[in-house]
Amino acid sequence: MMYREPPVIPHLPGIFALVNRKRRYVYVSFTSNLQKRSHSLSHMLLRHDEDPSSYWPIRDLPKNLSDEYVFMVMKSKDISPDNALAAVASVERQFAVKGYRLVEGHRAASPTVTVNGKRMTLADAVRNHSTAKYLTVYRRLERGWSAEEALGLVPPAPRWRIDLQDERRERAKRAA
């Protein structure tokens, strides 16, 4: 029997695919560190095997057993946040041609928001327009707050107003 070294996943930015060949779907995204991302996704999948109610960060990714998934490095040369979205689209087309269903999810290297009509990264928006911490603003956006509400530029809608809760939920659905 011959010993074979496991593949080395680089500490580089790149495009990866989380593939489920059995059920024919794939999640493709950019990461600034392929090795760290593969590690975190493997922990997510293994934790779900043990406890199906555990945190599942990729909302639209079907919850199947970890042994159905394969982490694949698709591109790691000359990939930067500037060309990441185009590279992700290219890899997605490759899988679509093979008949895979594409799993949606956040694709930007960094979350982006529009503040005062100007598109910018969330980190820049927090730095330039808010006194709140980045994670606080990020979680507010996840809960469906508008960018201006999350940054503290306008007061958030009162929780007890049902009409505004519905509006907030609709914004969250559109953002997801």
Give CA–CA dist 29/104, Å, rounded.
10
Give CA–CA dist 128/122, Å, rounded.
10
The strand pair at 101-102 and 25-31 is best described as parallel
pLDDT for 82 equals 75
> How many separate helices (H) and strands (E) can be counted in the chain?
6, 6
CATH 2.60.40 fits 14-102, yes or no: no
Q: Is the pTM of this model over 0.85?
A: no
pLDDT tens-digit readout, 22-80: 999 999 988 888 998 998 899 889 999 998 887 777 878 899 999 999 999 998 888 88
Kind and range of the H or E run holding 71: strand 69-75
pLDDT tens-digit readout, 74-131: 988 888 877 888 888 899 999 999 999 999 865 555 677 889 888 888 888 999 998 8
Kind and range of the H or E run holding 16: strand 14-20
In the chain, where does the domain assigned CATH 3.40.1440 lie? 14-102
Query: 20: pLDDT confidence band, cut at 50, 70 and 90?
Result: very high
Give CA–CA dist 17/70, Å, rounded.
8
Please give the full DSSP string across 20-63, using - where no structure is assigned.
ETTTTEEEEEEES-HHHHHHHHHHHHHHHHH-TTS--SSTTS--
Strands annotated E in 92-166 = 101-102, 112-115, 118-121
